[in-house]
Amino acid sequence: MEEEHKDTRAEAEAGEPENNGCLKDRTKTITRRRSAKTPLPTILPRSQHPALLAVLLVHLPLTVALRNGLDLVPPMGWSNWESTGCSVSEDLIKEAAAAMIDKGLVDAGYRIVGIDDCWAEKERNATGHLVPSKANFSSGMRSLGDYLHSKGLQFGIYSSAGAYCCQATMPGSLGYEWIDAQTFADWGVDFLKYDGCFGEQFADVLKDSPRRFPFNPPPILKYPLMAEALNRTGRNISYLCNFPWTFWDLYKDDADGGEWVGEFCNSWRTGGDAQPGFANALSYVTGSEEYASAVPSGPGRWNHLDSLEIGNNRSFDVVEDDDGDGDEIGRESRWRLRDGGGGMNEGQEQAIFSLFALVKSPLMIGADVRTLAGHSLETYLNKEVIAINQDPLGKRGRRVRQDGDVQVWVVELANGDTAAVLLNGGSEQTVDIQLSWTEAGIEPPKTPMVVRDLWQHKDIGTFEGSFTAKDVDPESAVVLRLRRDKLMPTFV
């Protein structure tokens, strides 16, 4: 394939397509932006594809996590998807940024302002670039990125490793990884959420696109391709991968070894889109435990449980495409936001926030920050719990005991302290929950430990061997930090 190479940043920013049918006109040669570090695509005969796959699997582990040096602690921020869905605009993003600053969320560590799906026009322009929605992002993405940076915030954006993004309203990046990565870098993007919809349509819809490789990459390669494209831009962009769930089933067994995932992704999703409500949120935590050993997380590489639904009372319904208007592009349904179907009380919110923090999931707010208030806002602002999540050791918390509805989770911290979540997952009665130093990994087992309640913000006392939380409310948790201290009175 013969390609032109010229600087098209101005055209991409202006978003004026030379051919509105770019994706449909499969015979048109597309101009591609190229930096000095980006080699020309190599088109190999099909007989050599297996060999190319072998080479890629050997050489692609030039890690995005290690090469960009980002996310040594889990990222924190906000994304619009769970609260506004496809209703996204530069006005919304600026209002959300102002709310995050005014409500103390930025001071607490939440700095990413993330734009999710539906931000672009349905077709690329004639140079193959994504075109920001002319109605909703009229000032351009570079201008919006500059605005967020001027406020001390980070700019997050969304795409998909498929022909289209998940709502089928804008193109995905499969086959356009080099172009899109450079576009995002030119716009000043700091964080990319990379979804996984419509990958199966690669061969048909993008048959003649300027793709890097002349075949449909399997899921194992689609995310490393974008990782390498991001690396080539020279801009450090935090990279959230959204792997297919059937792929994750390969890694429930510790022996299978999924360590390579962190070689290409700063963070990776461990379940489907978040839905509001205590039971849903708890299922994301317990579900991620299945892969915790086989796909290990740590500094630069985090298991992402999706957005926190604290303060969100909106949920998604599946809406059938009965009108035959073709909006689905082969999909049987789409998601649509509706009010109701979620919401949590204060105890539930504190329990979920604490568990997300303990397992070192990135803390991404899913609620509408413009209206966030009351105990929901206070939950997000608990700096003592946030400190557990942001601990530099980066060790993931693990569940050490489950007795019916009672769960005990613990994690080791960098300064030698231990944090614990004592969860009553039942919905009917209070329970007493004991934490022993042995199951918490504290040696020797009779060590005097100062026990601090992170939601009461006070030291309870010094205990030897164990601590029992009394009358833990249904669907609530007691969250503790334990430190060695021999100066305080001992209670046994």
User: Looking at the annotation, which residues are catalytic?
Assistant: 195, 273
| 201 in Cβ contact with 161 (< 8 Å) | no
Using alpha carbons only, what angle is made at residue 21 by residues 20 and 24, rounded to the nearest 5 degrees? 160
Separation of alpha carbons 458 and 483, rounded Å: 13
Provide CB contacts within 8 A for 188, sequence distance 6+: 142, 145, 146, 149, 155
Q: What are the beta bridge partners of residue 418?
A: 412, 482
Separation of alpha carbons 116 and 133, rounded Å: 13
Helix (H, G, I), strand (E, B) or coil at 407: strand
The count of other CB atoms within 10 Å of the CB of residue 43 is 9
- Name the token pair of 99: 């709310």
User: How far out from the chain centre does Cα 464 lie?
Assistant: 39
Element (H, E) at 238: strand 238-241
User: How far out from the chain centre does Cα 328 lie?
Assistant: 25
Pairing of strands 238-241, 154-160: unpaired
User: How far out from the chain centre does Cα 399 lie?
Assistant: 22
Separation of alpha carbons 308 and 86, rounded Å: 18
Entry field: residues in the chain: 492
Element (H, E) at 347: helix 346-358
> Which residue's entry shows tokens 């048109």?
28
The count of other CB atoms within 10 Å of the CB of residue 459 is 14
